């Protein structure tokens, strides 16, 4: 056993701001999901300047301004979209509204950065793709469970260095805590607005499977959904899983659910297992259950031993600086458009063909 971190296992240097103040100006709007905070912070830490916030509910915009005091509150979406300084609009709208909003943003000549899931249906996907082609703008996605989790960032670096050989399988568990349902907005429980568990929180995992296997495409072999514990909310999937075959030759499996027990010290015991021909990696992203190790645990086993690396504070989040430079230079280093869309296409396919486990009327 070894818990040392040899040079081969060390993270790449921490990312630094990529622009000077004012060189990259963005706005935040439609704050329906709390992820907007992480999206904004990530861009600010990479050097971005958040000029505007807009939300139809003024109290939400005000709360955002308290967190990010440099921001101005806009009186309308149009005010933001009409500002020529704004290069990108970050948003975390209700999932069913994300594609129409993105198309408006791109048609206004700005890049779009949306919370996952980026959209909900094949029709929205086709429209969003068409709009990116027509406008030349970006429809970037905050797949936070990889790009904003240091353990996952480090896993990507290790795989790229060949630390586990060729990746054969990626397996992800994404349990979430539902908490008090009365504190959730209505859209959380309405299938037409949240999209189903595989489309919504599952999309994170399809993105990770594509990334960690280096695949451009995949096929859903089977999937299932169910409502095992929320009879008062019959349109909620509180369970989902999917088995996929990736174009690299690897397979993937994801399980997502809303059954994090109250006794867990965080919102979910997210795990990722990546099996390679020459080793494997386990990520304990948010907690190392029953220990005080904290999250960010990367366990790597290879021919030389068992290695534990705590990625917390060691890796950072290069996605955000890469995204800013992609906007400025019209490159695709943070994530390609095709990849961002393919992940949600798989999520939609898995949701569409999912077996209903509980005999519920969907």
Q: How far apart are the C-alpha atoms of 52 and 30, rounded to whole Å?
A: 12
Strands 167-175 vs 271-276: parallel, antiparallel or unpaired: antiparallel
Closest distance of CB 276 from its own copies, Å: 7
304 binds its own copies (CB under 8 A): yes
**Beta carbons of 147 and 153 less than 8 angstroms apart:** yes
- Written as one string, the DSSP assignment of 188-226 is GG-HHHH--TTTTTHHHHHHHHHHHHT-S-EEEEEEEEE
Asked if 184 touches its own copies (CB under 8 A), the answer is no
Q: Specify the DSSP element, H or E, that contains 253.
A: strand 251-257
Number of residues that bind its own copies (CB under 8 A): 55
Q: Which is nearer to its own copies, 166 or 184 (CB)?
A: 166
CB of 190 to its own copies, least distance (A): 23
CB of 221 to its own copies, least distance (A): 4
Site for its own copies in 198-237 (CB under 8 A): 221-222, 224, 226, 228-229
Give 3-state DSSP helix, strand, coil % of the chain, rounded to 5: 35, 25, 40
CB 209 within 8 A of CB 218: yes
The distance of closest approach from Cβ of residue 198 to its own copies in the complex, given in angstroms and rounded to an integer, is 13
- The edge-to-edge listing of strands for the beta sheet with 297-302 is 305-310, 297-302, 279-284, 271-276, 167-175, 251-257, 239-246, 218-226, 355-356
Can you tell me the distance from the alpha carbon of 185 to that of 234, in angstroms, rounded to the nearest whole number? 15
Closest distance between its own copies and the C-beta of residue 216, in Å? 17
* Residues numbered 154-183 forming contacts with its own copies, rule: CB under 8 A: 166, 168-169, 171, 173, 175
- Considering only residues 256-275, where is the footprint of its own copies by CB under 8 A? 257, 259, 261-265, 269, 273, 275
CA dist 318 and 291 (Å) reads 29
Task: Tell me whether residue 26 or residue 258 sits nearer to its own copies (CB atom).
Answer: 258
- Residue 106's contacts (CB-CB under 8 Å, 6 or more residues apart) are 112, 131, 132, 135, 137, 138, 139
The residue (of 74 and 178) whose beta carbon lies closer to its own copies is: 178
* Alpha-carbon span 297 to 341, nearest angstrom: 29
- Is residue 193 within the footprint of its own copies (CB under 8 A)? no
User: What is the contact mask toward its own copies in residues 12 to 41, using x (rule: CB under 8 A)?
Assistant: ------------------------------
Residues 91-130 contacting its own copies, CB under 8 A: none
Taking the complex as a whole, how short is the minimal distance between the CB of residue 210 and its own copies, in angstroms?
Answer: 16
Residues engaged in binding its own copies (CB under 8 A): 1, 3, 166, 168-169, 171, 173, 175, 221-222, 224, 226, 228-229, 239, 241, 243, 245, 249-251, 253, 255, 257, 259, 261-265, 269, 273, 275-280, 282, 289-292, 299, 301-308, 355, 357-358
């Amino acid at each position: 056993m070894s818990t040392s971190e040899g040079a081969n296992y060390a993270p790449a240097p921490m990312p630094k701001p990529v622009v000077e103040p004012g060189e990259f100006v963005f706005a935040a709007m439609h704050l329906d999901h709390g992820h907007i905070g992480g999206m904004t912070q990530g861009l600010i830490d990479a050097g971005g300047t958040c000029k505007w916030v807009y939300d139809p509910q003024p109290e939400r915009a005000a709360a955002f301004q308290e967190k990010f005091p440099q921001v101005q509150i806009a009186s309308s979406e149009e005010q933001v979209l009409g500002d020529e300084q704004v290069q990108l609009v970050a948003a975390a709208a209700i999932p069913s509204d994300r594609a129409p909003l993105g198309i408006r943003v791109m048609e206004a000549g700005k890049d779009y950065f949306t919370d996952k899931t980026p959209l909900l249906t094949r029709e929205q996907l086709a429209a969003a793709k068409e709009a990116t082609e027509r406008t030349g703008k970006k429809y970037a996605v905050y797949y936070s469970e990889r790009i904003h989790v240091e353990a996952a960032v480090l896993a990507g670096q290790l795989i790229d260095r060949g630390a586990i050989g060729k990746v054969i399988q990626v397996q992800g568990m994404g349990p979430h805590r539902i908490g008090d349902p009365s504190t959730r907005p209505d859209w959380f429980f309405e299938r037409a607005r949240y999209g189903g568990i595989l489309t919504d929180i599952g999309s994170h995992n399809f993105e990770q499977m594509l990334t960690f296997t280096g695949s451009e495409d995949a096929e859903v072999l089977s999937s299932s959904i169910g409502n095992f514990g929320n009879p008062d909310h019959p349109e909620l999937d509180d369970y989902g899983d999917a088995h996929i075959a990736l174009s690299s030759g690897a397979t993937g499996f994801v399980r997502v659910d809303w059954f994090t027990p109250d006794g867990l010290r965080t919102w979910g015991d997210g795990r990722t297992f990546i099996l390679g021909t020459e080793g494997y990696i386990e990520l304990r992203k948010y907690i190392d259950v029953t220990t005080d190790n904290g999250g960010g645990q990367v366990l790597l086993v290879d021919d030389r031993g068992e290695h534990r690396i705590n990625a917390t504070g060691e890796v950072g989040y290069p996605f955000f600086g890469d995204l800013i430079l992609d906007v400025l230079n019209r490159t695709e280093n943070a994530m390609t458009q095709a990849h961002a869309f393919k992940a949600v296409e798989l999520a939609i396919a898995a949701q569409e063909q999912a077996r209903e486990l509980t005999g519920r009327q969907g």
